[in-house]
């Protein structure tokens, strides 16, 4: 399978190069030239598979020129063995035809583990074969950093450096990163904001001379195609459990960078009968404004109770816009240039109407998040939603158009990660799962550095012995 850039200028690459590259050289995002398609009969043959075997079947066509099937089997089984629920992504019923899919049974209690546990292993395999070593450098406001660290802690060919804003991430989130005491894991607390951390990452990718040509710099942010690919699997898993291919299923997805929901869109294009995809946002609602008013326009960031969805622009949305513009890279490059220059775009009315056949959207305020958590707890004998998931459940309840079709909300995090919302709902604080119960006693290791590129680079050089 070849992957092409959404901006039409970068060379087409295979899976391995796409995984290592992250962003395409023309500034676009990689996307498969064509997708594998499963007929209804082929979909029905997947029904009996457990999660890892299903993952192998769904992902095999995407990685075929990189991994032979036996190797893929081993890697995928290793990946999903670390999840703490036998079903990996279990469904919990809230009401007639209404479900949540719990994606928080991985090591960091959020859905990002599904992709990053796999990506760490795939990267290590690629680097082993090439005889190379890589440096992963990332910035995090919480979930991504811990999931990336957990995904790479066992990698032999990767050192990971994660910067978080000093004293500006939650206690649980910080500890999930800083208590991983592995030789290749390096936590940096930057005296600055999340944006400062991101700027340091960006500047480091632009000038990699500090690595002296000895290491490759790799990004594992949500635009990496391997992450989208891993997320396609759980849409199949849920739909198969609820009657696909005979029955259609709809999904509501708490969305920030449009990565998770884009995987649902890909699943549908691969033949899964998905009726509706509901884009659920918080106050940082650029995506909701696109689907409601055909206005994709950058606005000021507003902090919310659902910090993992606090974004100004959605980095993966470009992949959908590529299809909206008939997969014409040249046209899309012009659209993205206009967006960079003006901070705002809208699309042709007929194209917009077409995309709205599938996508609907809804926005929640913090107050609505709290009341949804309370409502579901009351209705379902104390079942707790995290604030991101609550945004999804509320959107599902508002937008679900055909009640005969089951609706599944993606539960993207465990409520214990974001206790403030639960407490505001007047409920008692959720407890850490047993295997994490001593998190607050575990020793931590991190280094505080000032918001200074040279200082960060010196730190990295020292750790790598460069
Ligand atoms: C990252 C994250 C999201 C948003 O996912 P996207 O792929 O960026 O849309 C939602 N909820 C939680 C808990 C997250 O960590």
pLDDT of amino acid 195? 84
User: What residues are labeled active site?
Assistant: 112
Distance 392 CA to ligand 1 centre (A): 11
Of all atoms in ligand 1, which is nearest to the CA of residue 147?
Answer: 15
Whether residue 168 lies inside any domain: the answer is no
CB atoms within 10 A of CB 27: 16
For the cut 90, the answer to whether the pLDDT of residue 222 exceeds it is no
Answer whether residue 21 shows pLDDT above 80. yes
Give me the mean pLDDT over the 363-376 stretch. Answer: 98
Q: Is residue 134 domain-resident?
A: no
Q: Could you read off the pLDDT of 74-92 as tens digits, one per residue?
A: 999 999 999 999 999 999 9
Please report the pLDDT score of residue 111 as a whole number.
97
Probe target for ligand 1 pocket from 148, 257, 391, with the most ligand atoms within 8 Å of CB: 257
Rounded CA separation 28/431 (Å): 42
Q: How confident is the model at residue 329 (pLDDT cuts 50, 70, 90)?
A: very high
Per-residue pLDDT for 424 more than 80?
A: yes
Residue 143 confidence (pLDDT): 83
Nearest CA to ligand 1 atom 8: 257
Count of domains in the chain?
Answer: 1
pLDDT reported for residue 171: 87
Nearest CA to 219 among 114, 306, 138, 161? 138
Contact 332, 5 (CB under 8 A): no
Is residue 397 predicted with pLDDT exceeding 80? yes
Confidence (pTM): 0.97
Mutate to test the pocket of ligand 1, among 146, 169, 254 (most ligand atoms within 8 A of CB): 254
List ligand 1's pocket residues with C-beta within 6 A: 110, 112, 143, 222, 254-260, 308-309, 388, 412-413
For the chain, percent of residues with pLDDT exceeding 90: 94
Mean pLDDT of the chain: 96
Q: What is the pLDDT of residue 410?
A: 98
- Of 360, 315, 323, give the one whose Cα is nearest residue 35: 323
Tell me, in angstroms, the distance from the centre of ligand 1 to residue 129's CA: 32
For residue 176, being part of any structural domain is answered with no
pLDDT value of residue 244: 97
| Residue 35 in domain | no
User: Residue 55 above 90 pLDDT?
Assistant: yes
Count CB atoms within 10 A of the CB of residue 205. Answer: 14
- Give the residue from 147, 198, 148 showing the smallest Cα distance to 168: 198
| pLDDT tens digits for range 257-299 | 999 999 999 999 999 999 999 999 999 999 999 999 999 999 9
At residue 141, does pLDDT exceed 90?
no
Rg (CA), the chain: 21
In a domain, 185, yes or no: no
- Residue 315 Cα: closest atom of ligand 1: 8
Least confident of 334-338, 410-414, 434-438: 434-438
Give the confidence band of 193 by pLDDT, cuts at 50, 70, 90.
confident
DSSP-derived 3-state class of residue 279: strand
Residue 454 lies in a domain: no
**E strand map for 178-265:** 185-191, 216-218, 249-254
Asked if residue 8 belongs to a domain, the reply is no
CATH number at residue 382: 3.40.50.1100
With the most atoms of ligand 1 within 8 angstroms of its CB, the residue from 227, 309, 389 to mutate is 309
DSSP notation for 11-60: PPB-HHHHHHH-S-TTS--EEESS-----HHHHHTTTT--HHHHHHHHHH
Q: Does residue 180 register a pLDDT over 80? A: yes
Contact residues for 449 (Cβ-Cβ < 8 A; gap 6+): 188, 189, 190, 191, 455, 456, 459
Residue 224 has pLDDT above 80, yes or no: yes
For the segment 297-303, the average pLDDT, to the nearest whole number, is 94
Is 92 a domain residue? Answer: yes
Buried-exposed string 33-49: b where 16+ CB fall within 10 A, e elsewhere:
eebbebeeeebeebeeb
Q: Give me the domain span that covers residue 307.
A: 80-109+225-424
Measured distance CA(215)–CA(367) in Å, rounded: 47
3-class state of residue 4 by DSSP? strand
In angstroms, the Cα distances linking 28 to 18, 23, 31, 336, 382 are 12, 6, 9, 9, 45
Are 186 and 162 in contact by the 8 Å Cβ rule? The answer is yes
């Amino acid at each position: 399978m070849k992957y092409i850039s959404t901006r039409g200028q970068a060379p087409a690459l295979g899976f391995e190069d796409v995984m290592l590259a992250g962003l395409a050289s023309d500034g676009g995002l990689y996307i498969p030239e064509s997708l594998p398609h499963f007929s209804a009969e082929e979909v029905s043959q997947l029904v009996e598979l457990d999660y890892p075997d299903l993952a192998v079947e769904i992902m095999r066509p995407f990685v075929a020129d990189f991994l032979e099937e036996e190797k893929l089997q081993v890697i995928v089984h290793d990946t999903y063995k670390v999840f703490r629920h036998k079903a990996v992504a279990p469904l919990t019923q809230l009401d007639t035809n209404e479900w949540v899919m719990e994606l928080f049974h991985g090591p960091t209690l959020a859905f990002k583990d599904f992709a990053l546990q796999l990506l760490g292993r795939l990267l290590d395999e690629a680097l082993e074969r090439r005889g190379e070593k890589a440096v992963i450098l990332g910035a995090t406001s919480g979930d991504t950093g811990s999931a990336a660290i957990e995904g790479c802690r066992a990698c032999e060919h990767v050192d990971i450096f994660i910067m978080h804003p000093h004293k500006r991430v939650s206690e649980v989130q910080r500890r999930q990163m800083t208590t991983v005491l592995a030789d290749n894991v390096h936590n940096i607390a930057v005296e600055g904001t999340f944006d400062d951390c991101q700027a340091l990452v960006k500047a480091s990718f632009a000038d990699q001379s500090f690595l002296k040509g000895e290491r490759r710099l790799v990004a594992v942010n949500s635009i990496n195609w391997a992450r989208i690919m891993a997320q396609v699997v759980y849409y199949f898993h849920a739909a198969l459990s609820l009657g696909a291919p005979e029955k259609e299923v709809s999904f509501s997805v708490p969305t920030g960078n449009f990565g998770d929901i884009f995987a649902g869109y890909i699943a549908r294009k691969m033949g899964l009968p998905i009726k509706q995809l509901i884009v659920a946002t918080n106050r940082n609602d650029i995506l909701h404004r696109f689907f409601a008013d055909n206005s994709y326009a950058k606005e000021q960031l507003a902090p919310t109770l659902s910090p993992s969805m606090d974004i100004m622009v959605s980095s993966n949305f470009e992949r959908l816009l590529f299809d909206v513009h008939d997969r014409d890279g040249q046209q899309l490059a012009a659209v993205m240039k206009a967006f960079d220059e003006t901070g705002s775009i809208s699309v042709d009315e007929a194209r917009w109407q077409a995309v709205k056949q599938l996508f609907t959207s809804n926005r929640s305020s913090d107050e609505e998040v709290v009341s949804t958590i309370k409502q579901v707890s009351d209705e379902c004998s104390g079942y707790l939603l995290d604030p991101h998931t609550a945004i999804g459940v509320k959107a599902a309840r508002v937008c679900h158009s055909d009640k005969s079709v089951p609706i599944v909300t993606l539960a993207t995090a465990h409520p214990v990660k974001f206790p403030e919302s639960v407490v505001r709902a007047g409920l008692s604080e959720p407890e850490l799962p047993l295997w994490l119960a001593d998190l607050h006693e575990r020793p931590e290791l991190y280094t505080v550095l000032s918001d200074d590129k040279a200082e960060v680079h010196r730190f990295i050089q020292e750790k790598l012995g460069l």
